Homo-oligomer: A and B are copies of this chain.
Amino acid sequence: MNSFTHKEIRQLCRQGKFQSPTPGFASGYVQANLVVLPKSVAFDFLLFCHRNPKPCPLLDVTEVGDAEPRMVAPGSDLRTDLPRYCVFRHGELIEEVTDIKQLWRDDFVAFLIGCSFSFETALLSAGVPVRHIEEKKNVPMYKTNLSCMSAGVFSSPLVVSMRPLLPADAIRAVDIMSRFPKSHGAPVHLGDESAIARRTFITSCRNYHRLFHALWKSTRC
């Protein structure tokens, strides 16, 4: 499956034939998290991303009402080309769907935020093992004690993804990840995760999507 190109995966998503998380897919291409918001709160969210560039590195922001990310994936359609979408109303998750064509509005703005899946190919190429890819699972995530900087109506604890590594590999990972600032860059933490993270361990795809706005990475020795 993961020999498919980025365009083939988007096509499979559009046809509803690919609905799972994407670690290990479209290797060598940047992966992104999608946030779609009405224009009324788009300034606040763009400011939130500007103030928190490490958890929320912006790859592309569409014009109001436009579902095509013209800079990073011209020709694609953000309403159909992702595996799944979590739909929130008034802050509550109300459904999970495979496209949002019926929900799209003329006042919607789409934000594409860099994802740590993007540098995993570089880690593997350098001989640094990536446990969740080996185990064909989604990456483990933690809600931390750290806060993002708030902006307008948006505030959030920092959420991190975690990759278990031996110390020598962790050092190489820092070196490699530092070169990917648009995919979160260097880790925020090394060593015992209790220094920054509550024991809230997030594994489900649902929660993964819910916490789009604070994806981040840490590396545990």
Contacts and interface: CB of A to CB of B under 8 A. Distances in A.
A58 interface: yes
B61 A152 contact: no
Contact of A46 (B39, B50, B63, B71): B50
B43 A50 contact: no
Q: Which of A47, A51, A71, A152 has the most CB of B within 10 A?
A: A47
Interface in A42-87: 42-43, 46-47, 50-51, 58, 61, 63-64, 71
Contact of A43 (B39, B71, B151): B39
Contacts of A64: 43, 152
Contacts of A71: 51
Given A63-B152, A64-B152, A50 B42 contact: no
Contacts of A109: 43
Contacts of A61: 47, 50-51
A50 B151 CA distance: 16
17 contacts: A39-B43, A42-B43, A43-B43, A43-B46, A43-B64, A43-B109, A46-B46, A46-B47, A46-B50, A47-B61, A50-B50, A50-B61, A51-B61, A51-B71, A63-B151, A63-B152, A64-B152
Interface of A: 39, 42-43, 46-47, 50-51, 58, 61, 63-64, 71, 109, 151-152
